[in-house]
Amino acid sequence: MQRLILPLPGNEGFAARLAALCEGELGAVETRRFPDGESYVRLHGDPQGRPVDIVCTLAHPDSAFLSLVFAADAARELGATEVNLVAPYLAYMRQDKRFHPGESISSLSFARLVSSTFDRLLTVDPHLHRHPSLGSLYAIPTATLHAAPRLADWIAANVPAPLIVGPDEESQQWAGSIAARIGAPAVVLRKTRRGDRQVDIEVPDLSPWRDRTPVLVDDIASSGRTLVVAAGKLAGMKPPQCVVVHALFADDAWAQVSGCFERVVSTDTVPHPSNRIELAPLLADALLRGLRD
Ligand code: R5P
């Protein structure tokens, strides 16, 4: 049975690409606010007897989440055989531990809420720190896709003689796999985070790579401080470029980051003017395989 793909507002473009690639039917979710601020949700498309994939990137999770739950519940009540969440960017991954007394562990709470609403979750490069996989947070089957091969292919096609630069130890995983795929050298910097918008970065001797173009790769650009500080440490090198997976660019981050690089590109997991690398084919393939890793 043809699947029904329902984008929350703001996700129509990505959902349309998915629907075309999966030969699914593209529906719509109408939302508005009642005068007192409550959310109204109406599905356009008939969920009866078929899988429904609700597409919502979670770059702004707090404003989207209730509508997402209402849409999922409506799809189930109207006869969907399964209701999946396609979240190209998955939120609430950073607070995965109680760092200070009394803090909420929001990644656990968010995972519980999503798991009680959807049958399956499909996402790209979730920001896993202390949990080895989404399976240790989420009670539903999850499929985690990786953007690194697509980033690598874009760099190989667009940047001659790149030096892949990871801004911190966590980025070793994608910097290493990108470099290996395209046969480029990689270096990983050392970052110490001092606050939400304060990072220090130490750089090893880069003089052996002065004839190469540094390409900073990271999973998330949020405040942008990691990229800005890292770019500032590349003096003496060719003008740096930057490729990120999830283009959150909060507040003035885009202005800050774009001023530090010759070029900044991102995947389309979060709609942004820097989007150049399409991941809809990756997600469509996972949907067609039944959302399994
Ligand atoms: C680090 O843990 C991540 O890989 C990113 O480097 C980080 O989330 C970027 O955050 P920001 O843009 O706020 O420096």
So what's the pLDDT on residue 147?
Answer: 97
Output the CA torsion 86→255→158→180 (10° steps): -60
**Which long-range contacts link 34-39 to residues 24+ away (Cβ below 8 Å)?**
39/66, 39/67, 39/70
Does the CB atom of residue 278 touch ligand 1 within 6 A? no
- Asked if 235 and 212 touch (Cβ cutoff 8 Å), the reply is no
Atom 1, ligand 1: which residue's CA is nearest? 170
Cβ–ligand 1 contact at 225 (below 6 Å): yes
Distance of CA 222 from the midpoint of ligand 1 (Å): 6
**Counting atoms of ligand 1 from 1, which one is nearest the CA of 221?**
12
Q: Is 189 in the pocket of ligand 1 (CB under 6 A)?
A: no
Indicate if 146-275 has the same CATH topology as 2-144. yes
Q: Is the CB of 170 under 6 A from ligand 1?
A: yes
Pocket test for ligand 1, best of 129, 222, 257 (most atoms within 8 A of CB): 222
Q: What is the pLDDT of residue 259?
A: 97
Cβ of 249 less than 6 Å from ligand 1:
no
Domain ranges within the chain, ordered by starting residue: 2-144, 146-275
For ligand 1, what atom is nearest to the CA of residue 196?
13
Closest ligand 1 atom, CA of 170?
4
Tell me which H or E stretch contains 264.
strand 263-267
Q: What six digits make up the tokens of 277?
A: 């690398």
What distance separates the 2 farthest-apart alpha carbons in the chain? 63
Predicted confidence at residue 196, as pLDDT, reads 87
Q: Does residue 97 have an active-site annotation? A: no
Atom nearest to 248 CA in ligand 1: 12
CATH number assigned to the domain covering 2-144: 3.40.50.2020
CA distances from 279 to 124, 171, 172 (A): 9, 20, 22
Ligand 1 center from residue 94 Cα (angstroms): 10
DSSP states of 224-238: SHHHHHHHHT-TTSS
Does ligand 1 have an atom closer than 6 angstroms to the CB of 125?
no
Could you read off the pLDDT tens digit of each residue along the chain, which spans 293 residues?
A: 899 999 999 999 999 999 999 999 999 999 999 999 999 999 999 999 999 999 999 999 999 999 999 999 999 999 999 999 999 999 999 999 999 999 999 999 999 999 999 999 999 999 988 888 999 999 999 999 999 999 999 999 999 999 999 999 989 988 999 999 999 999 999 999 999 889 999 999 999 999 999 999 999 999 999 999 999 999 899 999 999 999 999 999 999 999 999 999 999 999 999 999 999 999 999 998 886 55
Q: Cβ contacts of residue 243 below 8 Å, gap of 6+? A: 151, 154, 155, 215, 216, 217, 264, 265, 266, 277
The predicted pLDDT at position 129 comes to 81
Q: Which of 97, 191, 233, 238 is flagged as catalytic?
A: 191
Residue 155 has what pLDDT? 98
Tell me, in angstroms, the distance from the centre of ligand 1 to residue 168's CA: 9
**Which amino acid is residue 202, in one-letter code?**
E
The architecture (CATH level 2) of 146-275 comes to 3-Layer(aba) Sandwich (3.40)
Residue 292: predicted pLDDT:
56
Looking at residue 8, what DSSP letter applies?
Answer: P
Nearest C-alpha to atom 8 of ligand 1 is from which residue?
220
